[in-house]
A and B are shown apart, each in its own frame.
Chain A
């Protein structure tokens, strides 16, 4: 028998790392969803659909702004040394994804605001009448709108990828240590964003389109999962053990039921039937997708902290 005893007993480190609690998964989820929204909204701008009057895509930049701020607030809540948060912006640390993230957020906000300014809501115009003037000016420049679209897609991509890279660069946690994590989080963010539009869009065609897109994202997400696990399972022992944490270990029930089952497969089936007019569209499916995306972040953050090199070292 192999016995290991350690006298170390640091809070949130021993016996299992639990430094990051709910704040980081919430932040990663909201960041990913906002990223997805930016890409979708950006694509709509890019493809010139900004003229469609009742397009939900024009409400999502504003929603993104709120969600992103909520996410950042969650991140702030996680900081143990809150009064020093401004230190993030007195430096740029080339090798630190978190530093990149801090600065990406600085880019994301103007992009979102620019998007909002293209077609501010009536509510905003009532408060700041000048907005309609600005919007009018922007709308005269087609190229500008396309470029705002491109920027939103680009920064959305960076933001979505960053939420995965943040974890996957922490090589000490084998579960996170996979180069597909950013793809997974990006696709999952896109799918949650699509589900959101699908859910709120009043425009039937738009809703239908996003439902179809979401189905695509969900299929890709499943595929990414398969790839990710293949990668982990063909790696070193700690990575295999990390993958097994989700596949058949401590996190398997929640992973299979909530992330794969209720978060991907069931809504995928419902939406596939719906877009093929076999059943009616139901808000249940997109809600499941969004909740599944949130649970995915919780599972990955928590199981990732559980996974450890020591398992390899100590057999």
Chain B
């Protein structure tokens, strides 16, 4: 490559890099592509997309003499702009993780004891097929459910639907961003979605309430956040902890946990009473504004001060600040929104605040997304469903639409109502840490006749399986196409850049093989995944070969702001932005959000709050050697005054006991001024109990273990988890 920069290099040889091996400084540039990757010589750069989280950034994998060397961002990718986040950069560690699952396993003793027999793939599939057929005969196909997270689950979803079950869920709804999507949909008729449609890059005022950007590394958002900082955008951060984002903020509001809705209502009342809202926008697109005004205008900052602990003047000043920059003023909707049980209403309040600022559909607010339209594979029609999903019987949670409530399926598995669930497929999600109250999860599992876990590592949930299927990591497999809705429509491909080190297999292969074993082979008519992808791509006039070479193909730009011609469309019953929601009123809920008080921790107890670290994704990356090297345990953030009062020294290990008497693993104390005195904080995902994950076993404490209590959001069934209180157990 001599002195050519990588970018130049990519431009020049863009068409050939992927399949051709490039030998630095050698005349022998091309190697037969058919040869096994691990046997090739020279430097080869293969595009794919990342799977360390669900953002799906476009990446370039570097293979040096047949060994995986590094992963960089694909400069052609609009999500990463050529730069991956720390987890993505550490993605190679997933391939090299010594704790990876290596071959299929069948349980040989009690569930959860993690005792296994190594079996062949055929034996594993026979076991699964036999149970699936039995369950279908005895209970009907609906009695098998799938829990999956990430795009890798798509072929298993297809399998489950072909098998005849409607029960297919992901914890990312009811345990994470569900309330947000529901709150926004009730207001604007559309969800925020993933990647979030936030135009942080162009905003002039960014309000973060329930988002710790910078510790949460969703790549595009962090890149845009940094640009906003550089442009001098006004930043308002609301957090009980002085987050990284708080250190970049103009205003930091150290809110008392559980009172965010009070602050939001007070902000809205100021904006309404001082007529700081975008009147033109509201009269054009809004409905029910007067009823809304009548409701919110009573929430004064003085009232909110009592609830939130934030000075009335600071509340006023920040309300005016965000209004000053409207409509390029963005109140970020956050992502993990299941906090206190009124989360959909709180999210709706955020939506309404944005509506007041006129930011939905506007530059510097929420842009309109576009996605590359690629026809689905022409499969035969799925069998007709005989029963509805068990996730939400009798429509108990009327606004749980679009996605299913995972804890609802767990509940049905425990109770057998409305009908029994006898089989679980779990793909790429560690339910032990994703779902609240681990005992209930175990109770449900004990009712199963079949429990299959597909994962790349022996996660905690894998320990409870009957059959564990070791999956290839993302660098070793194809997955479905990525056509995430974004500022510009694009399609991205995930393709193998290196072979599996052992007997791991891609999920598409597993789904197809299981289907064939249970007589559903006709639902997998393609020979292999390449044929599947090629068929889909050809239907969109693209070719697999081209996509494999470039990694990303973009569609022409389309307008994303109303002012540029994007079509305002609100899929609410009224077709407008619903300041007052008749739907909610009809279902017996507050049509305009109202404040509810949440219980405070009893004396001697602290609210347990949790969050993300930039170098890990939930509980799935702790054993990645590169990421483990960055952070191998979590710490308990304790305010300096509290630490002094309880005699806790920085760096000592203690345990936590929650209100239900559950005692955590030991965790290192981080004494800091950067948190309030009424809560403690830890990064989620640690304290893992899987003994096969040798490198992470019992490292740090698990917030999930302490989350035995949860409050259910009556609108959509989300499980609020910031309702647990802990006290210190010194004798660690």
Contacts and interface: CB of A to CB of B under 8 A. Distances in A.
Nearest to A7: B630
A94 interface: no
Interface in B164-185: none
A1 B630 contact: no
A7 B672 CA distance: 16
Contacts of A1: 640, 673
Interface string A1-34: 1010001000000000000000000000000000
A192 B435 CA distance: 70
A128 B530 CA distance: 85
B634 to A, nearest CB: 14
Contact of A3 (B630, B631, B672): B672
Nearest to A2: B673
Contacts of B674: 3
Q: What bracket does the count of chain B residues touching chain A fall in?
A: under 10
A11 to B, nearest CB: 12
B672 to A, nearest CB: 6
Contacts of A3: 672-674
Q: How large is the interface on A (under 10, 10 to 19, 20 to 34, 35 or more residues)?
A: under 10
A195 B674 CA distance: 58
A7 B673 CA distance: 19
A285 to B, nearest CB: 43
B89 to A, nearest CB: 15
A57 to B, nearest CB: 54
A3 B674 CA distance: 10
A3 B640 CA distance: 11
A3 B673 CA distance: 8
Contacts of A7: 630-631
A203 to B, nearest CB: 58
Contacts of B630: 7
Nearest to A3: B672
Interface string B640-663: 100000000000000000000000
A298 B379 CA distance: 77
B292 to A, nearest CB: 44
B143 to A, nearest CB: 48
Nearest to A15: B651
Nearest to B635: A5
A13 to B, nearest CB: 15
B699 to A, nearest CB: 15
B254 to A, nearest CB: 16
B629 to A, nearest CB: 8
A59 to B, nearest CB: 53
Nearest to A5: B670
Interface in B656-685: 672-674
A209 B674 CA distance: 66
B241 to A, nearest CB: 13
B695 to A, nearest CB: 16
Contacts of B673: 1, 3
Contacts of B640: 1
A1 B242 CA distance: 14
Interface in A80-112: none
Contacts of B672: 3
Nearest to B640: A1
B176 to A, nearest CB: 27
A1 B674 CA distance: 10
Nearest to A9: B629
Nearest to B673: A1
Interface in B610-642: 630-631, 640
Interface in B579-638: 630-631
7 contacts: A1-B640, A1-B673, A3-B672, A3-B673, A3-B674, A7-B630, A7-B631
Interface of A: 1, 3, 7
Q: 7 tightest A-B contacts by CB?
A: A1-B673, A1-B640, A3-B672, A3-B673, A7-B630, A3-B674, A7-B631
